[in-house]
């Protein structure tokens, strides 16, 4: 039960993390999985790719296909809407963490 609740909570954090990195440089799935793993998030590609697709459908990310060593790799960048959502999410997170830190 607790695992399901924590997983739902962490999925929101993961989306903010994706927006943060995709704002600076285009990201791709495998790189994002490794980045998340460095921060203690162990998710599968079967979890990450639906998140990326959902964020793209919501207008938060834009996808660009690139040929890398003969294979098509999908790169994601934050849209203008995604950047605005990231700013709001950061502000809300800071406010929330100040309240719950102790």
Concatenated DSSP letters of the chain: -HHHHHHHHHHHHHHHHHHHHHHHS-EEHHHHHHHHHHTT----HHHHHHHHHHHHHTTSEEEEEEEETTEEEEEEEE-HHHHHHHHHHHHHHHHHHHHH--
**CATH code (residue 46):** 1.10.10.10
Task: Count structural domains, the chain.
Answer: 1
pTM: 0.88
- Domain limits for position 16: 2-100
Query: What confidence tens digit (pLDDT) does each residue in 18-49 have?
Result: 999 999 999 999 999 999 999 988 889 999 99
Query: What confidence tens digit (pLDDT) does each residue in 9-18 have?
Result: 888 899 999 9
pLDDT confidence tier of residue 2, bands split at 50, 70 and 90: low
């Amino acid at each position: 039960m607790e695992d399901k609740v924590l997983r739902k909570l962490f999925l929101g954090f993961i989306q903010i993390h994706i927006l943060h990195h995709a704002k600076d440089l285009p990201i791709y799935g495998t790189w994002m999985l490794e980045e998340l793993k460095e921060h203690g998030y162990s998710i599968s590609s079967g979890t990450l790719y639906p998140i990326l697709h959902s964020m793209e459908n919501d207008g938060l990310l834009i996808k660009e296909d690139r040929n890398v060593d003969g294979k098509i790799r999908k790169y994601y960048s934050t849209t203008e809407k995604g950047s605005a959502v990231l700013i709001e999410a950061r502000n809300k997170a800071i406010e929330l963490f100040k309240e719950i830190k102790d």
